[in-house]
Amino acid sequence: MTMTTTDLERVIAVAAEHPGAMEDHEVSAVKQTVELLDSGEIRLAEKVDGDWIVNSWIQQAINLYFRVPEMETLHAGPLEFYDRIPLKHDYEGRGNRVVAGGIARYGSHLEPGVVMMPSFVNIGAYVATGTMVDTWATVGSGAQIGRRVHLAGGVGIGGVLEPPGARPVIVEDDAFIGSRCIVVEGVIVREGAVLAAQNSLTASTHIVDVTQEPAVTYKGEVPAGAIVIPGSRSREFPGGTYQVNCALIIGRRTGTHDDKLALMDAARDFGFAL
C-alpha cells in the first residue's frame, strides 16, 4: 500500500522506537521512503524560504533500511561486491554519464545531467543537474549538492544520518570545491563559493574574511561567492603557541569569473590552486 509522506513520517517515527522488531507495514514504509529518495521525490534536506531544513524522519528511515535487505553478492562486470544496499541502475535512462568506476548507491538521487567520474555517492545524497563528481571524490550519506557544482579530484564531502536532525554537508549552486578539499560536520558552502585545493572545513574551523578591516570570522558556513584558501592561525596551548588550521577568504567571485576558464584566470590572479 502506498502511503503519503505524512503517513510515512508517522510510521517511521514509531518504527524507530523498536528498530529490531519492525512490523511488516513499518518495513514497507522504510522501503517506500528509500524508493522516493532514489527517485528524487523527497529529499533528506531541502531549502525552504532561504533556510535549509533537515527531514529527520528520512534519516531515521535510512538507518532502519540498513536492517531490511539481506547481505548479498553483487556483480558489475568482473567486479564483485558484498553488501546489503543495491547500486543504482539505468544511468542512460536517468540522463547521467557515469564513467567506469563511478558508484552511486540506491537511495541516492542524481538529477539528469550529472557526470560521475570514478567516484562514490552514498545513500540519501542528492546531486543536482550539471554537477561533476570528479575522480575519487566522495559524497557522503545525505549530503546535498546543488546545480553546476564541480567537486574536483579527491574531494571528500561528509554526510550524516545520526543523530536525527543533524545537518549534512550542503553545497549550493555553482560552487567549486577544489582538489583534495574536505568538507564535513554539516558545513554549508553557499552559492558560487570557491574553495581552493586542500581546504579542510569542519563545523569549528575558523573561516576568516581577511579582506575586511577588522577581519570577520565565520564558522560552519562559507559565504556566497567567497574565494577561500587554506590558512593557519596561532593558538595558545599549555605546551606553547602552535599553528592550527583555518581558512581565509581572500576575495569574492564576480560575474566575470562565472565560467570555468574565467575561474582559472581568477585562480591565477589571486594566486591559489584549484
Q: Are residues 134 and 12 in the same domain?
A: no
Could you tell me the pTM of the whole model? Answer: 0.92
Cα 161 to Cα 56: distance, rounded to the nearest angstrom: 8
- What pLDDT is attached to residue 74? 87
Which residues of the chain carry a pLDDT beneath 50? Answer: none
Q: Is residue 41 part of a domain?
A: yes
**Is-cis flag, bond preceding 19, omega within 30?**
no
How far, rounded to the nearest angstrom, does the alpha carbon of residue 175 sit from its chain's CA centroid? 12
Q: Are 228 and 222 spatial neighbours (Cβ–Cβ below 8 Å)? A: yes
- What pLDDT is attached to residue 112? 98
**Is-cis flag, bond preceding 163, omega within 30?**
yes
Q: Are residues 23 and 108 in the same domain?
A: no
- What pLDDT is attached to residue 78? 87
- Split into its structural domains, the chain has a count of 2
pLDDT tens for 187-207 read: 999 999 999 999 999 999 999
Collapsing DSSP to helix, strand or coil, 224 comes out as coil
CATH number at residue 242: 2.160.10.10
- What pLDDT is attached to residue 274? 67
Q: Are strands 79-83 and 176-177 parallel, antiparallel or unpaired?
A: unpaired
Residues in the chain: 274
pLDDT tens for 138-186 read: 999 999 999 999 999 999 999 999 999 999 999 999 999 999 999 999 9
| Residue 29 belongs to domain spanning | 5-65
Q: Are residues 55 and 102 in the same domain?
A: no
**CA angle (68, 69, 75) in 5-degree steps:** 165
Burial (CB count <10 Å: 0-12, 13-18, 19+), residue 268: exposed
Q: Are residues 179 and 58 in the same domain?
A: no
Cα 181 to Cα 226: distance, rounded to the nearest angstrom: 15
Q: Is residue 70 part of a domain?
A: no
Q: Would the CA dihedral through 148, 149, 154, 159 be positive or negative?
A: negative
Q: Are residues 109 and 158 in the same domain?
A: yes
Q: Is residue 14 part of a domain?
A: yes
Within a 13 Å sphere around the CA of 110, how many CA atoms are in the beta-carbon half?
30
In this structure, how many other beta carbons lie within 10 angstroms of the beta carbon of residue 114? 26
